[in-house]
Structure 1
Amino acid sequence: MVTTAETYHVPVLLQESVDGLDIQPDGIYVDVTFGGGGHSREILSRLGKNGHLYSFDQDADAEKNIVDDARFTFVRSNFRYITNWMQYYGVEHIDGLLADLGVSSHHFDDETRGFSFRFDAPLDMRMNKRAGQTAADMLNNYTEEQLADVFYLYGEMKNARRIAKAIVDHRQQKPVLTTADLSEVIEPLMRSEREKKDLARLYQALRIEVNHEMDALRDMLRGATTLLREGGRLSVITYHSLEDRIVKNVMKAGNAEGKIEQDFFGHINSPFRLVNKVTVPSDEEQQRNPRSRSAKLRIAEKNK
């Protein structure tokens, strides 16, 4: 199948997330998850001639969707380095930042990347194919305890230790290199009625660890908190409880841990005020785009 910007990734909560930025025509905005460019194009459609958009993506495949617009700059990098890149471009403050977290539909549908158990493929799972260890590297080199921690912390799997032991026992005879190899090891440990859900959790855990997603998210949100000018907006779409907890904590307390600091009068000291209640996709969007079913949109404004 030929990949186009339209098929690469169907943007989730497109209007709601961009509306949440309260676009100022001459403002400076950042889309830290460019992907197929759907959210970026919508932001550009609302900018005037003096506005500018910086969009991040570390995946080389996303570069095929780059927008030809003088008001647009594509940054080939992990979004965790947003502070450094904005400094490089001479940007002191931004008016808004949008993040559509998780994995794009392109990654799930690409049979060669190993993000999905639907295909027999090498266990890669790197968002940036040019750097870092693969999921196979991890499965064949981590200790049993390290693997169990990954499956429990990032997949919230109750049988994390049994799965880790099975992988370590198996790799002593034969390395775990493909999705088929991994299925061979773990399927006997899966209950048939929960197999797909448990496999999804396992693959989520591996992907998060391979790409250091939680650390990158914390770094990006820390940078966004510093970069946003007073009245600037943060619009973030999450897909699982781990990332949603971090986003919620930052928006409520100003830190990823959710540590509340109060002034003398008991008011919470936070750099943000919440703009919306959690927004979820409409039934129609969920039917049209199954990936959207677990999506949650949170919007916050930098305090003035």
Structure 2
Amino acid sequence: MKYVWTLAPILAALVGMAAPAYAQDVATTLKKVEETGTFTIATRAASIPFNYLDDDNKQAGFAWEIAQRVADKVKATVSRKDVQIRTMEVTPQTRIPLVANQTIDLECSSTTHSLERENQVNFSTSFFVVGTRMLVPASSRIRNWDDIAGKNVVVSAGTTAERLLRRLNENKKWNVNIVLGKDIDNTFMTVQTGRAAAALMDDMVLHSLVARSRDPKEWNVVGDVLQPEAYACMLRKGDTEFKSLVDGVITGMMKSGEITNLYNKYFLSPIKVRGGFNINAAMSPVIRDLIANPNDRVL
């Protein structure tokens, strides 16, 4: 007992010394940029129209442009003037770990803010709201969720849609065979080739897939919205200083009308993908409300 008591103050001192070092490590994005001269942003290959490669092999997208505004603010905030912006491509499976381990400083795409993910990363003010629905061939008899019972349904691996489908499949006893796609394009290809009867994704992503398909009339987006979800930028957990900077950029874009202009550019005008297509999706009331009342709440 005496031996344990003697060690207690030493252990407490070690813990006390380690805690500030950890806190400093997770809350120093701007300090890291100042020390390394680099700011790393995540890219996606096919998260259309949020973060993707266009026909000129250039990164583009609604969320990508938000990330660029944040990068500009970072460069204007830190003391050094030679900051380089680096990019790193991520997938639905790798994006959270790469932000959590501080390989990537910022990720803005079609990433849902969830309570579960808050255990690993922080989220900015939300910049978009979507709902989970299904994409089916126009000839399909699937119209709502109970119609998928006993069928193959594809969903992108590592997404909130995958977790939602698994939970409902178990609770509703649908006996669905869940097929996992590696990304958005692969998920669409799976239902295109008949290996799945339906594809489960966020509704705006589904509308973009339909718009850029060979014949949009061949596809329907169906099913009641299962759950609304908010898209937000991801950053490392505990970095309150950087979160404040990112939130300020997004809120400022909302107040100035820049977010609305970006919406018009990516959802109501042709974009340079596969020769050009127009999603042609009017802004929903819930997105208008988000722009008028910015927040970082989980839906």
Which category of TM-score, normalised to the shorter sequence, fits these structures? Answer: under 0.3
Q: Which has the larger Rg? A: 2
Structure having greater relative contact order (Cα 8 Å, sep ≥ 6): 2
Structure with the bigger percentage of strand: 2
Which TM-score applies when normalising by structure 2?
0.26
